[in-house]
């Protein structure tokens, strides 16, 4: 992982399935999502449309719908779905296989890296 | 002076006759109807969907009580006519009511045929004819036990499918070698049998019933070959015969049915007969299209237009079992002078057969793919010579000339006089013409104005295609608009299937109804969560992750991610103590804005999410609970001060408002519900633009509903007047429950009214006190699971604690590796 630093933020069971929670960090508030099939994703907690807190939205498949104006954001790459353009920063988050502890990296990642982190 | 018209029977044929009559000669007659069934006129064709749970009785009412009142009709419900005195020109009912007539219409319909076997009178043996039969079947189905349906015709199969959908183990006994042999040839009958068996229904053909066995009640059926089939319910659906006994006793000419001429006149010049009891030119009829034609003719003659005459026409048959497409028309027996064209596609389960005589279609059987039925019917009716297109005829209309197989093109190509709705005899040009003339844009409008697709509904698709064709992009097929891109089903379909298939969780709905996404989206999940919560109170566990944030955290999210908090103030009444607590909370949590709302409440705006539980805790301590200002549920009941203070007040409007709010708080509804109670017609509480409003008067309470004062502005409609506060509460609660059961998610009450119509709502809530009570009771039951203050649960830390604080704080960084 190129010596990238990961921080423990809790366990996967701290987040409900199809839900999210947020983590306060020096780079701003980050939303950590857990899907129905236990994938986890992290994005900045700010909708590219009007800054809505994505962590408060409804999670479906690997997407979240923003609670303010229903923008749909793909959690995999942070891109807005549908006709709108916009993108949120995504962060690598991984599950420690034995303890189920979630670990979050704070350096924003390129899309290629996000795929590798899944 | 108006002539007196007495109608015996209140089925679909006389109902339609009266509609025509009131169109043609609104003031000619004073009408009295005797109905042996204790109810209004309903769509008997739709009994099967009621049995299977896809529709409710309310949805199949044709004429609500209001219609009879509007036309000045005296309707005797539950009165069977026992005698006609043709000399005195009177009729007498079994309750002893005697009415005189100038013109009499006999529309006594038919009676089910009971096969004369031992045991036919045992309790548990029923027929399939009216709503009472359906109710008896539904009761029996609750036991989830075994049922036998005798008769593999249209009615028998619909009954079997309905009982099976209700969870019974069903066996169909049919005396002939293949099902529906009167409408289907053996090949299609075989396909049908396979489809029926795939639904878990057992079919025994060539089955002769020897006796129904049981001691005091049905226990089973024995066949001629000695086979015994256990059953607790036996449905006889072997056929009907005209109900002509009364006419015979009155000395009218009767063969199989009451003999009438082409003008529907019996052997007595002042007596007409129509419907299933009538025999015209040696034929009796059971399908709705010819019966409606009789209605048209009879109405014309009653209005002194003697030119109208009934002409026999073949009627297509369709089976109303969801998922089985079948169409049959005309004569399809083999014969030396006949030829046939057959298309089979075993994998797709398609079978099409055309029977030709002299190069003209005389019969059609379509199974699995029926969209060309109307076109074949048109060719048959016009006796078109098909030889030029014989090679490709079976592939259907759109194939002719090599055009692509586009259903729209097929409809566009239909001639103007092609019949679209067989039940109501509506042709293409009537539909397209009415759409253009009246500016219709919705399916419901087209049904209301042309009657097309309003009876059995099987031509709905064709009608929608015609609308799309006529209106182009302006057509919004609201009735079939999918809930969201995750499904092709509309809200109405999903609601009815949740009940019919007893679906009780979101994953189960998505699996059974073939959702296209793995876990839905932000549109469908909240809707499904509401439907399940409303339909299975106490059983379904609320899925918080399928709730919009406001309902999940019981506060309203604002543009900056903070929340607003509105405590409940019952009926808008507050106190110094509550106001002090609110002021203290505002100070303690540095809440930037305190504002009065439109619903007589106080709104605290700009509360940080992590402060919410503590804010609620303080408000709880002062006796306040959540005001649900975020909910698709009961919001506020506004009141004026009524007789407590006002010199004009006529009733205790504040007291009633508080009582309604305390009774109904916590309930979830399809969309928000705002109410108001005004103490006099000056209406200071602005009750006439609310979802539900009450205007008090000296005489009692006027119940209003379906107002709007948002994106749309609309005054309320008056539902009814009641005398006491108790009745007002019961009516409002029952109305809300009906809306909870029928409303589409996010559909406000005024839109719901527009969709279902005033008649059906009044039929359920106003006309029948028993029905109102049922809705009321269901609401009360549901409330036992919903009146827990969500704020208190969260302030105590019992529920959803994870919601309110970050899972980690990395502002003081600590490395994991």
From the list A24, A60, A106, the residue facing B519 with the nearest CB is A60
- Chain B residue numbers touching A70 (CB-CB < 8 A): 522
A78 contact B CB<8A: no
Question: Quick one: pLDDT at residue B170?
Answer: 94
Question: Considering only alpha carbons, which residue of chain A is nearest residue B803?
Answer: A21
Distance (Å) from the alpha carbon of A99 to chain B's nearest alpha carbon:
13
Distance, CA of B491 to CA of B528 (rounded, Å)? 9
Condensed to tens digits (0 to 9), the pLDDT of residues B510-550 reads 988 888 888 899 999 999 999 999 999 999 999 999 999 99
**Between chain A and chain B, how many beta carbons pairs sit less than 8 Å apart?**
107
Q: What is the ipTM of this complex?
A: 0.86
A112 located within any domain: no
**Is the model's pLDDT at A115 over the cut of 60?**
no
A20 located within any domain: yes
A11 located within any domain: yes
β-strand partners of B187: none
Distance (Å) from the alpha carbon of A103 to chain B's nearest alpha carbon:
8
From the list A5, A36, A37, the residue facing B815 with the nearest CB is A5
- Residues with Cβ within 8 Å of residue B570, at least 6 apart in sequence: B637, B657, B658, B661, B662
- Chain B residue numbers touching A24 (CB-CB < 8 A): 806, 808-811
Strands B125-127 and B233-236: parallel
- Verify whether the Cβ–Cβ distance B807 to A15 is below 8 Å: yes
Question: Quick one: pLDDT at residue A52?
Answer: 93
In terms of Cα–Cα distance, which of B366, B336, B339 is closest to B350?
A: B366
Question: Considering only alpha carbons, which residue of chain B is nearest residue A106?
Answer: B810
- Chain B residue numbers touching A23 (CB-CB < 8 A): 806-810
Supply the CATH number for residue A82's domain.
2.102.10.10
Distance (Å) from the alpha carbon of B801 to chain A's nearest alpha carbon:
10
- Residues with Cβ within 8 Å of residue B584, at least 6 apart in sequence: B618
B517 contact A CB<8A: yes
Distance (Å) from the alpha carbon of A94 to chain B's nearest alpha carbon:
12
Distance, CA of B510 to CA of A36 (rounded, Å)? 14
The CATH topology of domain B3-109+242-302 is FAD/NAD(P)-binding domain (3.50.50)
Length of chain B: 817
- Residue of A56, A57, A103 best to disrupt the B interface, most CBs of B under 10 A: A56
Which phi and psi angles does B12 have, rounded to 5°?
A: -70, -35
CATH number of B634-783: 3.30.413.10
Domains B3-109+242-302 and B125-238 share a fold: yes
Distance (Å) from the alpha carbon of A84 to chain B's nearest alpha carbon:
17
Question: Quick one: pLDDT at residue B93?
Answer: 94
DSSP B651: S
- Chain B residue numbers touching A36 (CB-CB < 8 A): 518-519
Q: Which residue has the higher pLDDT, A2 or B454?
A: B454
- Residue of A6, A27, A36, A58 best to disrupt the B interface, most CBs of B under 10 A: A58
Q: Which regions of chain B are under pLDDT 50?
A: 402-405, 815-817
- Chain B residue numbers touching A21 (CB-CB < 8 A): 802, 806-807
Question: Quick one: pLDDT at residue A112?
Answer: 38
- Verify whether the Cβ–Cβ distance A60 to B813 is below 8 Å: no
A19 contact B CB<8A: yes
Q: What residue spans define the domains of chain B?
A: 3-109+242-302, 125-238, 491-547, 551-621, 634-783
DSSP A36-89: TTS-EEEEESS-TTT---GGGSEEETTEEE-TTT--EEETTT-BBPTT---B--
Query: Which domain does A71 fall in, by range?
Result: 6-107
- Verify whether the Cβ–Cβ distance A24 to B808 is below 8 Å: yes
β-strand partners of B173: B150, B204
A17 located within any domain: yes
Q: B406 near B398, Cβ under 8 Å?
A: yes
Strand order in the sheet with B98-100: B81-85, B90-93, B98-100
Condensed to tens digits (0 to 9), the pLDDT of residues B357-388 reads 888 998 888 888 888 888 888 888 888 888 88
Question: Quick one: pLDDT at residue B477?
Answer: 58
Distance, CA of B162 to CA of B145 (rounded, Å)? 14
pTM equals 0.57
- Chain B residue numbers touching A15 (CB-CB < 8 A): 802, 807
Question: Quick one: pLDDT at residue B720?
Answer: 95
Distance (Å) from the alpha carbon of A13 to chain B's nearest alpha carbon:
10
Question: Quick one: pLDDT at residue B407?
Answer: 62
- Residues with Cβ within 8 Å of residue B55, at least 6 apart in sequence: B46, B49, B496
Length of chain A: 118
Other CB atoms within a 10 A radius of the CB of residue B184 amount to 26
Distance (Å) from the alpha carbon of A75 to chain B's nearest alpha carbon:
14
- Verify whether the Cβ–Cβ distance B519 to A23 is below 8 Å: no
The token duo for B140 is 């029996």
Question: Quick one: pLDDT at residue B400?
Answer: 66
- Verify whether the Cβ–Cβ distance B525 to A104 is below 8 Å: no
Other CB atoms within a 10 A radius of the CB of residue B53 amount to 19
From the list B518, B809, B817, the residue facing A6 with the nearest CB is B817
Question: Quick one: pLDDT at residue A83?
Answer: 66
Distance (Å) from the alpha carbon of B557 to chain A's nearest alpha carbon:
8
Distance, CA of B787 to CA of B768 (rounded, Å)? 28
3-state DSSP assignment of residue B255: coil
Number of domains in chain A: 1
CATH number of B125-238: 3.50.50.60
Q: B717 near B687, Cβ under 8 Å?
A: no
CATH number of B551-621: 3.90.480.10
Question: Quick one: pLDDT at residue B242?
Answer: 92
A100 located within any domain: yes
- Chain A residue numbers touching B560 (CB-CB < 8 A): 51
- Chain A residue numbers touching B553 (CB-CB < 8 A): 56
């Amino acid at each position: 992982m190129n010596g990238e630093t990961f921080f423990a933020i809790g366990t996967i069971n701290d987040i409900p399935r199809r839900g999210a929670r947020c983590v306060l960090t020096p780079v701003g508030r980050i939303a950590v999502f857990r899907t129905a099939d236990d994938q986890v994703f992290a994005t900045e907690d700010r909708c590219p449309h009007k800054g809505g807190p994505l962590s408060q939205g409804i999670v479906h498949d690997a997407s979240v719908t923003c609670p303010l104006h229903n923008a749909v954001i793909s959690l995999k790459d942070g891109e807005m779905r549908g006709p709108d353009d916009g993108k949120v920063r995504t962060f690598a988050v991984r599950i420690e296989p034995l303890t189920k502890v979630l670990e979050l990296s704070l350096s924003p990642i390129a899309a290629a890296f996000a795929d590798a982190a899944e | 002076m108006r002539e007196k018209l007495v109608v015996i029977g209140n089925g679909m044929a006389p109902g339609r006759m009266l509609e025509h009559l009131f169109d043609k000669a609104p003031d000619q007659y004073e009408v009295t109807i005797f109905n042996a069934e204790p109810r209004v006129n309903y769509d008997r064709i739709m009994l099967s969907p009621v049995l299977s749970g896809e529709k409710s009785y309310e949805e199949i009412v044709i004429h609500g009580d209001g219609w009879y009142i509007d036309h000045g009709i005296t309707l005797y419900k539950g009165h069977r006519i026992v005698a006609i005195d043709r000399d005195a020109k009177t009729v007498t009912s079994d309750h002893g009511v005697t009415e005189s007539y100038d013109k009499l219409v006999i529309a006594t319909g038919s009676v089910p045929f009971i096969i004369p076997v031992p045991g036919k009178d045992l309790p548990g043996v029923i027929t399939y004819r009216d709503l009472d039969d359906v109710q008896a079947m539904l009761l029996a189905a609750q036991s989830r036990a075994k049922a036998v349906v005798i008769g593999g015709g249209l009615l028998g199969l619909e009954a079997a499918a309905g009982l099976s959908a209700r969870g019974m183990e069903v066996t169909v006994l049919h005396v002939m070698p293949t099902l529906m042999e009167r409408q289907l040839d053996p090949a299609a009958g075989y396909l049908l049998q396979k489809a029926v068996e795939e639904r878990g229904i057992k079919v025994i053909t060539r089955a002769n019933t020897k006796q129904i066995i049981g001691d005091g009640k049905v226990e089973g059926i024995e066949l001629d070959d000695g086979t015994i089939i256990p059953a607790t319910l036996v449905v006889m659906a072997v056929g009907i015969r005209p109900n002509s006994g009364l006419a015979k006793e009155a000395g009218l000419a009767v063969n199989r049915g009451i003999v009438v001429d082409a003008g529907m006149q019996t052997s007595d010049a002042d007596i007409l007969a129509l419907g299933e009891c009538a025999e015209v030119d040696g034929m009796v009829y059971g399908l709705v299209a010819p019966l409606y034609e009789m209605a048209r003719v009879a109405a014309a003659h009653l209005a002194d237009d003697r030119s109208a005459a009934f002409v026999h026409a073949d009627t297509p048959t369709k089976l109303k079992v969801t998922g089985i497409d079948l169409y049959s028309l005309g004569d399809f027996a083999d014969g030396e002078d006949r030829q046939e064209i057959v298309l089979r596609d075993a994998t797709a389960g398609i079978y099409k057969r055309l029977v030709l005589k002299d190069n003209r279609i005389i019969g059609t059987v379509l199974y699995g793919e029926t969209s060309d039925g109307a076109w074949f019917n048109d060719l048959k009716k016009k006796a078109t010579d098909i030889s030029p297109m014989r090679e490709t005829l079976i592939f259907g209309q759109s194939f002719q000339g090599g055009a692509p197989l586009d259903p729209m093109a097929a409809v566009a190509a239909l001639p103007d006089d092609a019949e679209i709705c067989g039940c109501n005899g509506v042709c293409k040009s009537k539909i397209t013409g009415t759409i253009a003339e009246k500016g219709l844009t919705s399916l419901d409008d087209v049904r209301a104005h042309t009657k097309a697709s309003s009876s059995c509904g099987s031509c709905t698709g064709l009608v929608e295609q015609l609308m799309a064709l006529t209106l182009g992009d302006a057509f919004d097929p609201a009735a079939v608009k999918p809930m969201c891109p995750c499904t092709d089903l509309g809200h109405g379909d999903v609601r009815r299937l949740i009940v019919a298939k007893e679906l009780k969780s979101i994953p189960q709905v998505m699996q059974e109804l073939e959702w296209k996404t793995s876990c839905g989206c932000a549109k469908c999940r909240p809707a499904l969560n509401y439907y399940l919560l409303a339909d299975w109170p106490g059983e379904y566990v609320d899925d918080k992750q399928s709730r919009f944030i406001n309902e999940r955290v019981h506060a309203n999210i604002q543009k900056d991610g903070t929340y607003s908090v509105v405590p409940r103030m019952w009926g808008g009444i507050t106190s110094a103590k509550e106001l002090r607590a609110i002021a203290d909370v505002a100070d303690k949590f540095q809440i930037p804005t305190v504002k009065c709302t439109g619903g007589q409440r106080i709104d605290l705006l700009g509360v940080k999410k992590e402060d919410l539980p503590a804010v609620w805790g303080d408000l709880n301590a002062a006796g306040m609970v959540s005001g649900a200002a975020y909910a698709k549920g009961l919001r506020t009941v506004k009141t004026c001060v009524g007789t407590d203070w006002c010199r004009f007040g006529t009733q205790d409007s504040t007291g009633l408002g508080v009582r309604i709010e305390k009774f109904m708080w916590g309930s979830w509804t399809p969309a928000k519900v705002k109410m108001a109670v005004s103490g006099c017609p000056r209406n200071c509480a602005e009750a006439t633009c609310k979802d539900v409003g009450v205007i008090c008067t000296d005489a009692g309470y006027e119940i209003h509903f379906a107002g709007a004062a948002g994106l749309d502005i609309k005054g309320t409609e008056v539902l009814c007047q009641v005398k006491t506060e108790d009745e007002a509460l019961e009516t409002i609660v029952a109305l809300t429950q009906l809306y909870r059961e029928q409303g589409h998610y996010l559909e406000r009450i005024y839109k719901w009214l527009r969709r279902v119509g005033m008649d059906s709502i009044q039929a359920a809530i106003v006309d029948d006190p028993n029905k109102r009570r049922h809705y009321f009771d269901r609401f009360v039951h549901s409330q036992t699971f919903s009146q827990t203050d969500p704020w208190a649960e969260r302030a105590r830390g019992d529920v959803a604690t994870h919601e309110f604080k970050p899972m980690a704080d990395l502002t003081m960084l600590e490395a994991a590796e």
